[in-house]
């Protein structure tokens, strides 16, 4: 856990989840790890927040009202092809996951959420971010 905190303590995330109880619970965990955590209740809300601030990682559900997670990813990738995404979803449907991979996302966590899996994916993505920053 300490290694993860070292990697994430200076990073900013946007967590997109339409289910309020999940959004509140998980954002409390994220606040222990990241410098800043913003939340959004659907893709449209997330996209509006993305226009106002840089996020190192966007963590999103897939199935949401108004704009789903896959639509959000496509829209943001048009602006920033290097944006890091993690999908947390109850959908383990091959079509959804295949579409996300096509859109450049290969970090998936299938609900029900297991903390060890979450921490593992966060570590991987955070290491990738630091490697890219070190090259710049």
Structural domain includes residue 87: yes
Structural domain includes residue 135: no
> pLDDT, tens digit, for every residue of 107-124?
888 888 899 999 999 999
19 alpha carbon, distance to own chain's centre:
15
Q: How confident is the model at residue 44 (pLDDT cuts 50, 70, 90)?
A: very high
Q: What is the pTM of this model?
A: 0.93
In whole angstroms, give the CA distance from residue 25 to residue 27: 6
Structural domain includes residue 13: yes
Domain count across the chain: 1
- Please say if the pLDDT value at position 12 is more than 90: yes
Structural domain includes residue 51: yes
The two three-digit tokens of residue 20, written as one number:
């309020």
Structural domain includes residue 136: no
> pLDDT, tens digit, for every residue of 58-97?
999 998 999 999 999 999 999 999 999 999 988 666 676 7
The total of other beta-carbon atoms located within 10 Å of residue 83's CB is 17
- Concatenated DSSP letters for the chain? -HHHHHHHTT-EEEEE-SSHHHHHHHHHHHHHHSSEEEEESSHHHHHHHHHHS--SEEEE-SS-SSS-HHHHHHHHHHH-TT-EEEEEES---HHHHHHHHHTT---EEESSP-HHHHHHHHHHHHHHHHHHHHH-
**CATH number of the domain within which 78 lies:** 3.40.50.2300
The two three-digit tokens of residue 79, written as one number:
């602006």
Structural domain includes residue 50: yes
Domain that holds residue 116: 2-130
The two three-digit tokens of residue 134, written as one number:
């070190």
């Amino acid at each position: 856990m300490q290694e993860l905190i070292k990697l994430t303590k200076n990073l900013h995330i946007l967590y997109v989840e339409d289910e309020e109880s999940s959004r509140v619970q998980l954002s409390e965990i994220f606040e222990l790890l990241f410098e800043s955590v913003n939340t959004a209740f659907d893709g449209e809300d997330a996209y509006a927040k993305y226009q106002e601030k840089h996020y190192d990682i966007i963590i999103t559900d897939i199935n949401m009202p108004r704009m789903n997670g896959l639509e959000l990813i496509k829209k943001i990738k048009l602006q920033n092809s290097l944006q890091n995404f993690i999908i947390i979803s109850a959908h383990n449907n091959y079509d959804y996951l295949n579409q996300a991979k096509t859109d450049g996302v290969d970090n998936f966590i299938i609900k029900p959420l297991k903390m060890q899996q979450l921490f593992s994916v966060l570590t991987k993505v955070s290491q990738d971010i630091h490697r890219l920053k070190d090259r710049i």
